[in-house]
Chain A
């Protein structure tokens, strides 16, 4: 983890225009986030729907216009690059999308799908058939899968095809949006094991976007928890899991319990719903749902840093009093 980071995100904002001709305004999908990802490291962006995690991932990949801040990849600033400049970057940075089957072109064979990156970026004398075999073997699929179509694959197999395509050009960074979404638990493990193995073997850096904290636990070295387009907590994965310091992180962790009926589930129930991006709460943006919120939280912005909270939690903290969700 030495040397310059492979990816460096600084104060990135992504805004979307809303409203009609007369009432035009913008909402911030990503409201200023910064983080670094080093070579060989896995960084996880965790958040629920509307947290801006997918928007951030798309911004890094150049699929989304960055309205403020900078993104530096391998020493080169990429948020300002044009189409052809970005095409060169895409050789070294690949992205995997949520839907295992839906992210594969339905009328293409698996062989064509995994070798698509070569067709886009030039084959350089490679034999595409051999490449397809090599890639399929690498992700643990039999070579005769090359002639299948996406709809003939199970979710796990389709996900492996997506992984094979993502590593085709030997990238230095893979961005994986919900790599386990829509997969059965027994298959989720397979996919995560594969990603871990490939990362070690190929020395990849990875950014994993997920709402599933358990995925993060076993895969990521460092993580950031997003809420309304901002990081509320960042840190080493093990430290965050051992003792979450932001109330939202703690609530997320408690929301996915061990399947044991006798275990007392000390769930932290969050009252109310996620506020709209159109009307962000004042002060700490989490205060509307925070069981620990005090008066200062409704007026003053929390301190910036690894934990964006006025009153970071002590290990094992319980909510002061159980509010009835309204």
Chain B
């Protein structure tokens, strides 16, 4: 495919793709890459530095950090994919309705999006966790609430721009139903740029997950998460820096990988945006 070829010609894109593939590979084959159990406590092996046995060392409970990082990657990617997919689905539907529906509904939905958007993420997370208690689901819900308004707004703007174009009028003149017009004629034209945008949002999602877990609002111990590993190492960062590094490095790698990949994808698919 032409776009794939063009992507592979951009060094930054290839680099991003490699990082992303590395993270995905680690998450999928976590069990094959290490024999350590990420949750097993080993009081005798506390605070061991990196070695051939423990590639990234161990934490304050003697758990193997390499295993925890790999399994933490599963959590991070799971949250990123599930919440982004749900956000996209909700965002597209609401955006199409706002853009194509009657004016009053549009105004109402815009009000809703603005209200959602005006909530600071941390406040939202705290409020939600007070009600439900910390959990993976809470993280996903927070991410959805944060992402949906942005996606819906983009879809709405695109829909408004497209709905007066001649091919939509032509579909109306053929007698196409509203759902058909939205599904067949409008949606395929808004979805491409949106998916690229969402791929650039994935690092943000991963940061939210890590952040919430860091604050103890996300994944519950002993389940490994990059955020909680970082938190574990945070207290002893001077004495045993490898714990914080083990938690922080994968966040940096993933963020860079998805950002480079997303930006290159955007340029490849829409060269007009280049250098914006």
Q: Hey, which bits of chain A sit against chain B, CB under 8 A?
A: 61-63, 86-87, 90-91, 94-95, 97-99, 102-108, 116-117, 119-121, 165
Contact = CB atoms under 8 A, between A and B. Distances in A.
Contact of B169 (A63, A86, A87, A121): A63
B174 A98 contact: no
Given A108-B184, A120-B175, A97 B189 contact: no
Interface of B: 165-167, 169-177, 180, 184-185, 188-189
B166 A90 contact: no
Given A97-B166, A98-B166, A120-B180, A105 B174 contact: no
Given A90-B175, A102-B166, A107-B189, 13 more contacts: A62-B173, A91-B175, A94-B174, A95-B173, A97-B169, A97-B170, A102-B165, A102-B167, A105-B170, A105-B188, A108-B188, A117-B174, A121-B175
Contact of A87 (B175, B184, B185): B175
Q: Which 5 residue pairs across A and B have the least CB separation, nearest first?
A: A90-B175, A107-B188, A87-B175, A103-B166, A95-B173
A53 B195 CA distance: 41
Given A105-B184, A106-B189, A107-B188, A116 B166 contact: no
Nearest to B167: A105
Contacts of B184: 105, 108
A115 to B, nearest CB: 11
A165 B167 CA distance: 12
Contact of A90 (B169, B174, B185): B174
Nearest to A162: B170
A193 B107 CA distance: 49
A87 B175 CA distance: 5
A104 B171 CA distance: 9
Contacts of A106: 167, 189
Contact of A94 (B165, B173, B176, B188): B173
11 contacts: A87-B175, A91-B175, A97-B169, A97-B170, A103-B170, A106-B189, A117-B174, A119-B180, A120-B174, A120-B177, A121-B175
B181 to A, nearest CB: 10
Nearest to A112: B184
Contact of A120 (B166, B176, B189): B176
Contacts of A86: 175
Contacts of A61: 173
Contacts of A121: 175
A105 B166 CA distance: 9
Greatest chain A CB density within 10 A among B165, B169, B173 is at B173
B170 to A, nearest CB: 5
Contacts of A97: 166, 169-170, 173
Nearest to B180: A120
A135 to B, nearest CB: 14
A98 B167 CA distance: 10
A105 B171 CA distance: 9
Contacts of B169: 63, 97, 103
A62 B173 CA distance: 8
A234 B140 CA distance: 67
Contacts of A107: 188-189
A66 B175 CA distance: 18
Contacts of A117: 174
B38 to A, nearest CB: 44
A59 B189 CA distance: 28
A9 B167 CA distance: 26
Nearest to B177: A120
A306 to B, nearest CB: 30
A120 B170 CA distance: 12
A87 B170 CA distance: 13
A92 to B, nearest CB: 11
B166 A99 contact: yes
A238 B38 CA distance: 90
Nearest to A91: B175
A63 B173 contact: yes
B89 to A, nearest CB: 19
B270 to A, nearest CB: 14
A61 B173 CA distance: 7
Contacts of A105: 167, 170-171, 184-185, 188
A179 to B, nearest CB: 13
B174 A116 contact: yes
Nearest to B191: A107
A98 B177 CA distance: 22
A95 B174 CA distance: 8
Nearest to A86: B175
Nearest to B188: A107
Given A102-B166, A105-B185, A116 B171 contact: yes
Contacts of B171: 105, 116
A95 B166 CA distance: 11
Nearest to B186: A105
A63 B181 CA distance: 15
Contacts of B180: 119-120
A108 B188 CA distance: 9
Contacts of B189: 106-107
Contacts of B174: 90, 94, 116-117, 120, 165
Contacts of A95: 170, 173
A121 B176 CA distance: 8
Nearest to A93: B173
Nearest to A117: B174
